[in-house]
Copies of this chain bind each other. A is one copy, B any other.
């Protein structure tokens, strides 16, 4: 079994959630944020069999697209942290896949 950690932007989340629910994929939702961009996002933990992995990556790819957006960011001005506006590449999704040794249900 694998654990997929999927970090997805708020704007893309609804579309991805729909695709996963339609396909009976179970997941746990964490409300998270980016350290740098200050933007809220969602991190999904999805536990998958090896053979489901490709299919789920396709759902993510179809639901999450990278775009440019003006964001409030934290910057270090050499002296202190200040807020600034910057055009950042936002969205898309980041996926980490790692091993799970054991899954149990009670």
A3 touching B81 in the complex, CB below 8 Å, given contacts A29-B32, A76-B21, A106-B60: no
A95 touching B103 in the complex, CB below 8 Å, given contacts A28-B43, A29-B35, A35-B21: yes
Chain B residues near A61 (CB-CB < 8 A): 106
B35–A26 touching, CB < 8 Å: yes
B102–A3 touching, CB < 8 Å: no
Interface residues of chain A, those whose CB is within 8 Å of chain B, are 2-3, 5, 7, 14, 17-18, 20-22, 25-36, 41, 43-45, 47, 57, 60-61, 64-66, 74-76, 81, 92-106
Can you report 23 A-B residue pairs in the complex whose CB atoms are below 8 A from each other?
A7-B28, A17-B35, A21-B35, A21-B36, A21-B74, A21-B75, A21-B76, A26-B34, A28-B34, A30-B32, A47-B96, A65-B106, A92-B105, A93-B106, A94-B103, A95-B104, A96-B103, A97-B102, A98-B98, A98-B99, A98-B100, A98-B101, A99-B101
